[in-house]
Amino acid sequence: MARIVVIGAGLGAMATAARLAVAGHRVTVYERTATYGGAVGRFAREGFAFDTGPGLLHLPAVYRDLFVKTGKEPLEECLALTQVDPASRHVFADGTRVDLPNASRAGTVAALDAALGAGSGERWGEFLVRAREAWDRTRRPLLEEPQPADPAPLAREPYPALKTGLLRRPTTTLAQVGARELRDPRLVALLDAYAWSYGFDPATAPAAAAVLPYMEQTFGSWYVGGGLRALADAVYERCRKRRVEFVFEAPVEEVLEKNGRAAGVGLAGGETVEADHVVSGAPVPVLYSDQVIGWERQDDWPLHQEIGTSRVTVCLALRGPREATAVHRTVVHGAGERPTVTVLRPDDPALRPDDTHEAVTVTATVRAASGEDWDTFADRMVDAAGLAVPGLRERLLWRHVRTPEDVRRDTGIAEVPGPALGGADGRLLPAANVSPLPGLYFAGGWSHPGGGLAHAGMSGALVAGLIVEGADFRGSR
């Protein structure tokens, strides 16, 4: 039985802790804040409650696997999990609206043809066929296997873009995919919205980002009853049942090194804790900038993705009931000064004081260091959300705005990491789970396979496998 210290209580770190505890190790989690969950937070006031991180779950099989491997109760016995249908409503700049069904290729094609004109659905469907090729080429190495020591093959573009004409240059960015293959500005906006929702600028994101809409439209979007914070609650409780110990308000200031490997951690106040292995769920850039890790950066080793984006969230408390025709998620596409926003309106009694009120969450991806006046920006977000929520301004009781600085306070860094993507010369590959210091491992959104709830859960499986099976571990099965 090994002594294992886990830094941070985010979803990836807790997923690692639960798996290691089941394997018979003694696991202690040290969290710098007063609670668990990391980016999966909650804001509550006057009977209203809002998710302050992700609002929907994709690839729920990741957490089903975690709960199967760590206890008798499956995921669905620990929380309510339902598919969102329609998966999303889109309001385009020209006023066109379309509802896209959940995990139905044929339904999506039909909906796009009906709303945007004959042939629109076919073009989108053909694009998804090519996106599937990129998914099939990268699924194992980017999601289910440890990052290879030489990640160069992952830096090559996996998307099989169309190449017509002798002088046509290959497609290298998602924006080029949209312009060349989708053509209709509304289809281009649809594609761009998926990239922005994961924190990527379509103008610079590789064509491989096509896997993002493919993943959502193939495997579906799911809502956790009570909000996504309930998933963090369930994973925390599973850890506790497996006898994982949590110590809150205990910042780790140093990873201790002995004989060339990690040997424990130093806590604020001078206390040291010995360990056979250390797993860090903290953002990798923070470990370096705060000098928690005592070695110099290696230029040829990818420490973290080039992200640069964050999230603004506006929590809206509304009087009046949710109308019968409302949908769970609406994407209002930007036009002029109006930003692209995602409006979440879960029909969940747990999030509102009674049925004569409604809790609405509006989010937008922004540059982390834009210097924006966030109150003014929030005004524009609310104006955009009014296209999804009838009479929003008249119904508004109060609002609460969360900015990139709130993200920094909760997680240690203002940026929000996206999932690992192939191509882009490897610039969007996060840190490997195995650090340069033997005995120290990285889990969570800033390490392989990147950000997002599902990806964080996958990192937990990979790190646990690397510790339990060692060099023989070849990935999840």
103: left (phi over 0), alpha (psi -120 to 50) or beta: left
424: left (phi over 0), alpha (psi -120 to 50) or beta: left
d(CA 200, CA 430): 14
What was the pLDDT predicted at 312? 97
Task: Print pLDDT tens along the chain (477 aa).
Answer: 899 999 999 999 999 999 999 999 999 999 999 999 999 999 999 999 999 999 999 999 999 999 999 998 999 999 999 999 999 999 999 999 999 999 999 999 999 999 999 999 999 999 999 999 999 999 999 999 999 888 889 999 999 977 665 546 677 899 999 999 998 999 999 999 999 999 999 999 999 999 999 999 999 999 999 999 999 999 999 999 999 999 999 999 999 999 989 999 999 989 999 999 999 999 988 887 766 676 554 444 445 456 789 999 999 999 999 999 999 999 999 999 999 999 999 999 999 999 999 999 999 999 988 788 999 999 999 999 999 999 999 999 999 999 999 999 988 899 999 999 999 988 899 999 999 889 999 999 999 999 999 999 999 999 999 999 987 888 776
Out of 215, 248, 282, pick the residue that ends a domain. Answer: 215
Do 436 and 374 share a domain, yes or no?
no
d(CA 417, CA 304): 9
What was the pLDDT predicted at 291? 67
What was the pLDDT predicted at 368? 86
> Positive or negative, the Cα torsion across 465, 468, 471, 477?
negative
What is the count of structural domains for the chain? Answer: 3
Looking at residue 141, the DSSP 8-state letter turns out to be I
> Positive or negative, the Cα torsion across 185, 186, 191, 197?
positive
Cα–Cα–Cα angle for 82, 192, 305, nearest 5°?
85
Average pLDDT in the chain? 92
Out of 215, 242, 274, pick the residue that ends a domain. Answer: 215
Do 273 and 318 share a domain, yes or no?
no
Do 15 and 156 share a domain, yes or no?
no
In contact, 210 and 126? CB cutoff 8 Å: no
Do 329 and 377 share a domain, yes or no?
yes
Out of 168, 192, 215, pick the residue that ends a domain. Answer: 215
Query: How many contiguous H segments (helices) and E segments (strands) does the chain have?
Result: 14, 19
Q: Looking at residue 276, which CATH number applies to its domain?
A: 3.50.50.60
Domain membership flag for residue 27: yes
d(CA 381, CA 453): 25
Q: What is the DSSP string of 23-49?
A: TT-EEEEE-SSSSSBTT--EEEETTEE
Do 293 and 439 share a domain, yes or no?
yes
Which residues are 450's β-sheet partners? 419
Q: Looking at residue 330, which CATH number applies to its domain?
A: 3.30.70
What was the pLDDT predicted at 302? 47
Strands 329-332, 88-91: pairing kind? parallel
Helix (H) or strand (E) holding 470: none
What was the pLDDT predicted at 31? 97
Containing domain of residue 133, as a range?
Answer: 106-215
Domain membership flag for residue 149: yes
- The most distant pair of C-alpha atoms in the chain lies apart, rounded to whole Å, by 68
Other Cβ atoms less than 10 A from the Cβ of 71: the count is: 16
Domain membership flag for residue 477: no
Phi, then psi, of 335 in degrees rounded to 5? -155, 120
What was the pLDDT predicted at 294? 64
Do 210 and 230 share a domain, yes or no?
no
Domain membership flag for residue 189: yes
d(CA 426, CA 449): 13
Domain membership flag for residue 432: yes
Cβ within 8 Å of residue 456, ≥6 positions away: 10, 11, 12, 15, 443, 444, 445
Domain membership flag for residue 89: no
Do 299 and 443 share a domain, yes or no?
yes
Do 247 and 261 share a domain, yes or no?
yes
